[in-house]
């Protein structure tokens, strides 16, 4: 009798242990999400904040971040299933839509809301006027990309025809534009940070205008994925968006110094003072989106920018490739 009771008790303990282990395991399990970013940039500070502060982890997500170097490569990785989510310019989703994709790419959480480039001159300029660019050698960005389109949109707004009024150079790879300018090519250059701040610190260039301020609010960099992924993983997309929104609020509430210190592990070769300068400049001009909603007014501005650049075959309707439901829910 005693032996039977002992065996029964042992079985009960073993069963309880298995149940507790199973419950513990279910709590610790996380969903892996493969994310491809178009480039590594402090322009995307909220993304690195979400990783560094554990906001994705708090939502039960294990985010595997990789830099896919270029809009075309990033979109190819998304369409082929190499990544689940892409952080890239909204224009890439428009290009896919214009090709008549059966599984459209859907924009679901906006990260940046202005262009991130600056006009840098080789010589100091006391009183800048856009007419000063005429007949100069201008080192621009790659044709068809958002930096180039926002740049040309701004130039035309100020009465400058990029092809007729400038010696326009845009056949240099994105990664080599700063190096080309530093080596003596061009009177003016369109640059992202941190190159702009680095050139200022080294005396190689001078920031005289912001294309972000001039071109207005745009869905410049957005988290997007295929419609089929959303259909199968809507809960994951919601949790991802929740984490993004937490990071956006955190960025709004903290100083450039605190933000820079938080994201510096992702930029190990960057000087802290440069990082603070970059974050401060982007934050002051409102480049970081304050929430993940891609507004229709921003979308319409994107259509105008792409149309002006000659890159829009026909207008793509806002609701056809934009889903704001996840962003809206994350804000409640």
The predicted pLDDT at position 101 comes to 84
pLDDT score of 29 more than 90 = no
Higher local confidence (pLDDT), 293 or 143 = 293
User: What number does CATH give the domain 30-114+218-330?
Assistant: 3.40.190.10
**Domain 117-215 in CATH 3.40.50.620:** no
The CA angle 79-84-90, to the nearest 5 degrees, is 65
The label of the residue with tokens 């960025």 reads 251
Asked, colleague to colleague, whether 30-114+218-330 and 117-215 share their fold, the answer is yes
Mean pLDDT along residues 301-325:
93
Mean pLDDT along residues 182-189:
96
User: Cβ contacts of residue 258 below 8 Å, gap of 6+?
Assistant: none
Question: Tokens for 309?
Answer: 């650049």
d(CA 41, CA 37): 9
Q: Is 248 exposed, middle or buried (0-12, 13-18, 19+ CB in 10 A)?
A: buried
Give per-residue pLDDT as tens, 199-240: 999 999 999 999 999 999 999 999 999 999 999 999 999 999
List the chain domain ranges: 30-114+218-330, 117-215
The predicted pLDDT at position 10 comes to 34
Q: What is the rounded (10 degree) CA torsion for 40, 42, 47, 51?
A: 80
Give per-residue pLDDT as tens, 243-290: 999 999 999 999 999 999 999 999 999 999 999 999 999 999 999 999
pTM reported for the whole predicted model: 0.87
């Amino acid at each position: 009798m005693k032996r039977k009771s002992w065996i029964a008790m042992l079985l009960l303990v073993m069963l309880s242990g298995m149940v507790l282990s199973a419950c513990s395991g279910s709590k610790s399990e996380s969903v892996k999400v493969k994310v491809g970013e178009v480039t590594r940039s402090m322009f995307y500070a909220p993304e690195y904040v979400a990783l560094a502060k554990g906001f994705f982890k708090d939502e039960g997500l294990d985010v595997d971040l990789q830099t896919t170097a270029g809009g075309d490569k990033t979109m190819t990785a998304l369409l082929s299933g190499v990544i689940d989510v892409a952080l890239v310019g909204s224009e890439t989703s428009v290009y896919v839509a214009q090709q008549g994709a059966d599984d459209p790419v859907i924009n679901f959480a906006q990260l940046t809301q202005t262009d991130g480039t600056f006009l840098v001159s080789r010589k100091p300029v006391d009183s800048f006027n856009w007419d000063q660019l005429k007949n100069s050698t201008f080192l621009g960005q790659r044709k068809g990309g958002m930096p180039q389109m926002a740049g040309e949109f701004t130039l035309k707004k100020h009465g400058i025809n990029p092809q007729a009024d400038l010696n326009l150079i845009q056949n240099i790879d994105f990664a080599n534009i700063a190096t080309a300018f530093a080596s003596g090519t061009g009177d003016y250059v369109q640059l992202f940070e941190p190159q702009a701040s680095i050139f200022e610190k080294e005396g190689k260039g001078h920031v005289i205008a912001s294309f972000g301020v001039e071109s207005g609010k745009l869905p410049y960099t957005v988290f997007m994925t295929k419609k089929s992924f959303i259909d199968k993983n809507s809960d994951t997309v919601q949790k991802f968006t929740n984490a993004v929104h937490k990071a956006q609020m955190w960025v709004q509430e903290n100083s450039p110094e605190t933000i820079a210190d938080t994201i510096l592990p992702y930029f190990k070769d960057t000087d802290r003072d440069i990082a603070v300068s970059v974050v401060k400049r982007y934050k002051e001009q409102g480049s970081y989106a304050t929430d993940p909603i891609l507004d229709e007014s921003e979308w319409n501005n994107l259509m105008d920018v792409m149309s002006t650049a000659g890159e829009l075959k026909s207008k793509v309707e806002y609701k056809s490739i934009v889903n704001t439901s996840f962003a809206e829910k994350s804000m409640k």
